[in-house]
Amino acid sequence: MKNKEITHGNFNIPLRFQKNTPIEQNLINDLELINTQEKTNIPVVDYLFKPTNELGKKSLNQWNCYTSDVNFLKESQKLYNNIDDLQEKRDVIDDMLKTWKNIKGIQKFDERFQYIEWERLAFLNSYAIFMYFLSFLNITAPIMQLIAPLMAFILPFFLLKAAGIPVSMDKYTEILKKIMSTNALYKLVTSFNEVDAKQKVTMLVTVGLYFYNLYQNLLSCYKFYSNSFFIIEKLNSIKEYLNYTINQITLFENKIKPYHTYQSFLKDLSSRKEKLQNLHDNLQFLPSKFYDASTIPSYGYIMKYFYDFHNSEDINELIEYSFGFNGYINNLVGIKQNIKLNNIHKTIYSNKNVSKIKKVYHPSLSNECIKNNINLKKSIILTGPNAAGKTTLLKSTIINILFSQQVGFGFYQSCTLNPFDYFHCYINIPDSVSRDSLFQAEVRRCKEILDTITSKPTARHFCVFDELYSGTNPYEAISSAYSYLNHITKNTNIKFVLTTHYIRLCKLFKKHKKITNYKMKVEVDKNDKPKYSYKIKKGVSQIKGGISILRDLKYPNDIILEAKNILDKL
């Protein structure tokens, strides 16, 4: 509750209101979709949504699922093309984030702002009338103490008059002298030298306590005034943010009203908007300046609402929901920016067993990079030397198909897609000293994929395999990979892209009806140094680039020459 960490509460993006499938955690990790292994790297989703503030970055965690609902994806495409007027006020959002962190992070809140600290009576802090009287006492306490000695002179006269006792001014002066003769402050002034040491100490202590108490009351009053400036400043920030958010929600409501698949989200959004509006209306009449004439009678409400913003679970949940909404809007603005820059293009959906992507590229690369065409009419085995771009192309394919099933756009020129129901990833398989060897970990991952395919035989599955079964010897790796891939492709709903260095495996699938061999186009110069084009073409690569990498890393010549001689004999 009092954690300064900003969350999105129970806000859910529209995608989560549809029938959706969570992206497997290993897929998120392997593709570095939302989080990265190195802090210097940028998550892949950042390139699509371009978050520009903390809320936008937090909202990226919502995009950990996808859908095969074509109607929703088509309506989303229309929406993203119609949000040019959805402008953000970054200063308002940043100011609110700072304000909210300040309020939620205040230590010893009740003590600092002079609320009731006793838990049994703490409920009174949420009552405006009680807070008004408490504030009144905090303001007037020093004044009351200052006039208390004067009241001691005047009050007896009025009490005598009220009692009907006739009294003249001379008589009252005489009575007053008798009363004041027992007053420590009076005796300190008139007869300090006439009393003994013990009485002098008593008089000094009494007067000292009086002035100390006066000092404490003045300090408390100053603290109250200082806190009031702080509180009104924070409430002004909240009011401005609520007004901005309500206007954003109203604008977005109007945009999604025509879309049938957005109605569940719209209903939830409208309900939250009503609560935000009520909260805004309650704050609207509060003064925006401390010295405003309306401030004094509003003290009770000012203190009540500030207390509620720190302690109320309902308000906390509502504000966090608004953070989620504004984070989502920040993501949509990023999508629109990519559309305008022609970085991403719209997906065309088909109910045929076809998936074709033209000029696809990895989101982290610039729009001017080398692009490739991918046709998944058949599954693909991709060969090529190290650093030729095999794994990047493999990742580009699955990432952009995922984006196509999240937002209806991808980093390509065009894409015709029959959506997949499940995605499977075999990249960066970790070995474990405490559990599995590398090969055991690979086998385990493949078995998990196989179990899902077996349990969902009518669903469409897309798999990517990077160096399948590379953790064992080549003979068993090739035989195991062949039998595994041959088995899963018996189901026409399965498509995969595999990268491999095993030429023999490619030859085994040469005449397979459901699998095609592709290679990374590479040329070798007279010094046996490969020149990478990063383009694919049909066929099997015979080029070996490992020794070239040894040379690039300045290995000793004798190692390079001997390795080359042995390679030529193999």
pLDDT in tens, 166-186: 766 676 676 666 666 665 555
Q: For a pLDDT cut of 70, what percent of the chain falls above it?
A: 77
Q: Which of 539, 510, 541, 528 is nearest to 567 (CA)?
A: 528
- Average pLDDT taken over every residue of the chain: 85
SS (H, E, C) 522-564: EEECCCCCEEEEEEEEECCCCCCCHHHHHHHCCCCHHHHHHHH
Asked whether residue 518 carries a pLDDT value surpassing 60, the answer given is: yes
In the chain, list all ranges with CATH 1.10.1420. Answer: 14-113+224-340
| Contact between residue 241 and residue 96 where contact means Cβ atoms under 8 Å apart | yes
At residue 115, the pLDDT reads 75
CA atoms of 337 and 344, how far apart (whole Å): 9
Asked whether residue 217 carries a pLDDT value surpassing 90, the answer given is: no
At residue 295, the pLDDT reads 62
Q: Please return the burial class of 447, using the count of CB atoms within 10 Å of its CB with bins 0-12, 13-18 and 19+.
A: exposed
Q: What global pTM score does this model have? A: 0.82
Average pLDDT over residues 418-432: 83
CB neighbours of residue 90 within 10 Å = 11
At residue 315, the pLDDT reads 92
CA atoms of 538 and 167, how far apart (whole Å): 121
Q: Which of 104, 102, 111 is nearest to 220 (CA)?
A: 111
The long-range contacts involving 85-90, CB below 8 angstroms and separated by at least 24 positions, are 85/251, 86/248, 86/251, 86/252, 86/255, 86/329, 86/332, 86/333, 86/336, 88/52, 88/326, 88/329, 88/330, 88/333, 89/244, 90/52, 90/53
Which tokens belong to 90? Answer: 């970054």
Q: Which of 389, 374, 456, 470 is nearest to 426 (CA)?
A: 470
**CA 364 remoteness from chain centre:** 21
Residues in the chain: 570
Looking up tokens 């070996």, which residue turns up? 544
At residue 521, the pLDDT reads 94
Asked whether residue 16 carries a pLDDT value surpassing 60, the answer given is: yes
Asked whether residue 508 carries a pLDDT value surpassing 60, the answer given is: yes
CA atoms of 319 and 313, how far apart (whole Å): 10
What residue type is 102 in one-letter code?
Answer: N
In the chain, list all ranges with CATH 3.40.50.300. Answer: 345-529
The β-bridge partners of 531 are 523
Strand order in the sheet with 530-538: 422-426, 461-466, 494-500, 379-383, 515-524, 530-538
Which tokens belong to 281? Answer: 């209306």
At residue 194, the pLDDT reads 61
497-508 burial by CB neighbour count: b if 16+ within 10 A, else e? bbbbbbeebbeb
Higher pLDDT, 542 or 197: 542
Strand order in the sheet with 355-360: 372-375, 355-360, 414-417, 345-349, 409-410
Q: What share of the chain is helix, strand, coil (3-state, %, to 5)?
A: 55, 10, 30
| Contact between residue 402 and residue 47 where contact means Cβ atoms under 8 Å apart | no
SS (H, E, C) 172-187: HHHHHHHHHCCCHHHH
Distances (CA, A) of 438 to 214, 239, 430, 482, 503: 76, 57, 6, 19, 22
pLDDT digits (tens, 9 = 90+) for 349-369: 999 888 999 999 999 998 889
Which tokens belong to 234? Answer: 């924070």
What is the rounded (10 degree) CA torsion for 292, 298, 303, 309? Answer: -90
Asked whether residue 193 carries a pLDDT value surpassing 70, the answer given is: no
Asked whether residue 24 carries a pLDDT value surpassing 80, the answer given is: yes
Which tokens belong to 273? Answer: 């908007």
Q: Please report the beta strands in 284-432, taking only residues with DSSP state E, as ranges in sequence order.
A: 345-349, 355-360, 372-375, 379-383, 409-410, 414-417, 422-426
pLDDT digits (tens, 9 = 90+) for 57-99: 999 999 999 999 999 999 999 999 999 988 899 999 999 999 9
At residue 394, the pLDDT reads 96
pLDDT digits (tens, 9 = 90+) for 242-265: 999 999 999 999 999 999 999 999
Mention every residue, 6+ apart, whose C-beta is less than 8 A from residue 12: 62, 265, 268, 324
Higher pLDDT, 22 or 9: 22
pLDDT digits (tens, 9 = 90+) for 226-239: 677 788 888 899 99
Architecture of domain 345-529: 3-Layer(aba) Sandwich (3.40)
| Contact between residue 364 and residue 47 where contact means Cβ atoms under 8 Å apart | yes
Q: Please state which of the four CATH numbers 1.10.10, 2.60.40, 1.10.1420, 3.40.50 is assigned to the domain occupying 14-113+224-340.
A: 1.10.1420
CA atoms of 263 and 257, how far apart (whole Å): 7
The DSSP output letter for 85 is T
Asked whether residue 150 carries a pLDDT value surpassing 70, the answer given is: no
pLDDT digits (tens, 9 = 90+) for 320-338: 999 999 999 999 999 999 9
467: left (phi > 0), else alpha (psi -120 to 50), else beta? left
